[in-house]
């Protein structure tokens, strides 16, 4: 069976061409980048080349980029470090949005449970963006950190993080402003991020067509951050552990590709437009966020009155890979917290599906995905 991969927001597949590029660069340079012999120095050069490529994408300096295993590690690192930075007479306050990824929500809740902070969750507007007024009202001298998703992984909605950071720092110049920018790299212009009002940001290679298992943290120069991992002193002693050279090479290549080919997701946007035009003509189909409010490559929708499982089975039988959304450990569908925070009813929040396209997708595939949705609707009648 030929598969259609429409779950790019989960991971953007590596192309064969990219894998060959990584192999060609890695094969003659397979030393440990911490070693002082020639092969180690060569590996180190590859790591530093990738660091520069990623920094260039966000207008940062290479020394502000720290490689990690993934964005989850980066998010946890900053959360824990920010909560441990200073002693407060009362618990420091962390602000997060109701639409945050679990790699923010879960560790923030764990820190609160330990008594290390108070977590204040800011609601969302109907369009999926954070309630900016409510967030800024919570910024005071006891607010130690703001953790906000930049481009949402399920809805594709983009928060205006730069304006929020500027306003937040007027109220408290010391507040740490961190963004989860995993879904932003290659989709949103980020070259004004470095040197601006954002203190840190997390990224992952596999969201832009790189290898899985490598991410990075941007940390603004001058902002102090204690290490999460101790040991060999890699990454300027802030993130010990032998660097994943293959993953880092992959990350750098894909970051450079995204920077120098700003239209690299052009086919994905055309496929998404085509898919949404088809959906708008299908009875019961309900798209939760207007395409103009998103990065243009993702569709989060439900079929009113038709359980999600019926559509997922139809997709699986047709060889189409999509995201089923959140579910508890037993496999029983639960309402999506982001959709609930946007004011969408519990049934729709429970039975929604995400379709996300990438570099390799074409409009013909969007039509095939829409055909399955259409068949699922008319099979019920």
CA distances, 289 to each of 126, 133, 198 (Å) = 9, 21, 26
Q: Do residues 111 and 117 touch, judged by C-beta distance below 8 A? A: yes
Give the chain's end-to-end CA distance (angstroms, integer): 28
3-class SS letters over the chain? CCCEECECCCCCCCCHHHHHHHHHHHHHHCCCCCCCCHHHHHHHHHHHHHHHHHHHHCCCCHHHEEEECCHHHHHHHHHHHHHHCCCCCCCCEEEEECCCCHHHHHHHHHHHHCCCCEEEEECECCCCCECHHHHHHCCCCCEEEEEEECECCCCCEECCHHHHHHHHHHHCCCCEEEEECCCCCCCCCCCCCCCCCCCEEEEEHHHCCCCCCCEEEEECCCCCCCCCCCCCCCCCCCCCCCCCHHHHHHHHHHHHHHHHCCCCCHHHHHHHHHHHHHHHCCCCEEECCCHHHECCCEEEEEECCCCHHHHHHHHHHHCEECECCCECCCCCECCCHHHHHCCCCHHHHHCEEEEECCCCCCHHHHHHHHHHHHHHHHHHC
Quote the CA–CA distance of 281 and 65 in Å, as a whole number.
46
Quote the CA–CA distance of 5 and 3 in Å, as a whole number.
6
70 is catalytic: no
- Among residues 70, 117, 143, 328, the one annotated as catalytic is 328
3-class SS letters over 299-346? EEEEECCCCHHHHHHHHHHHCEECECCCECCCCCECCCHHHHHCCCCH
User: Active-site residue numbers?
Assistant: 328
């Amino acid at each position: 069976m030929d598969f259609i991969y429409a779950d790019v927001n989960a991971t953007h597949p590596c192309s064969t061409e990219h894998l060959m590029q990584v192999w060609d660069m890695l094969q003659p340079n397979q030393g440990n980048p911490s070693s002082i012999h020639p092969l180690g120095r060569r590996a180190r050069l590859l790591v530093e080349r990738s660091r520069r490529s990623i920094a260039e994408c966000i207008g940062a300096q290479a020394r502000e980029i720290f490689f990690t295993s993934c964005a989850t590690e980066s998010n946890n690192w900053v959360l824990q470090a920010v909560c441990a930075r200073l002693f407060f007479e009362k618990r420091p306050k962390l602000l997060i949005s109701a639409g945050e990824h679990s790699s923010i929500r879960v560790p923030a809740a764990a820190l609160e449970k330990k008594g290390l902070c108070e977590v204040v969750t800011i609601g969302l507007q109907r369009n999926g963006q954070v309630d900016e007024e409510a967030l800024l009202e919570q910024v005071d001298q006891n607010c130690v950190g703001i953790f906000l998703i930049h481009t949402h992984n399920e809805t594709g909605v983009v928060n205006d993080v730069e304006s929020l950071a500027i306003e937040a720092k007027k109220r408290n110049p010391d507040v740490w402003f961190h963004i989860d920018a995993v879904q932003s790299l290659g989709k949103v212009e980020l070259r004004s991020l470095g040197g601006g009002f954002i203190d840190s940001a997390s990224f992952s290679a596999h969201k832009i067509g790189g290898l899985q298992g490598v991410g990075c943290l941007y940390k603004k120069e001058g902002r102090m951050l204690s290490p999460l991992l101790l040991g060999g002193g890699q990454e300027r002693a802030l993130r010990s552990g032998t660097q994943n050279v293959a993953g880092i090479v992959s990350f750098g290549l894909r970051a450079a590709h995204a920077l120098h080919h700003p239209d690299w997701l052009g086919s994905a946007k055309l496929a998404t437009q085509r898919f949404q035009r088809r959906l708008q003509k299908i009875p019961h189909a309900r798209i939760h966020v207007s395409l103009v409010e998103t990065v243009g490559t993702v569709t989060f929708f439900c079929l009113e009155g038709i359980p999600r499982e019926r559509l997922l089975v139809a997709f699986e039988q047709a060889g189409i890979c999509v995201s089923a959304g959140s579910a508890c450990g037993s496999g029983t569908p639960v309402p999506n917290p982001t959709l609930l925070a946007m004011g969408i009813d519990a049934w729709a929040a429970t039975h929604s599906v995400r379709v996300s396209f990438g570099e390799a997708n074409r409009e013909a595939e969007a039509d095939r995905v829409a055909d399955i949705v259409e068949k699922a609707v008319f099979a019920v009648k």
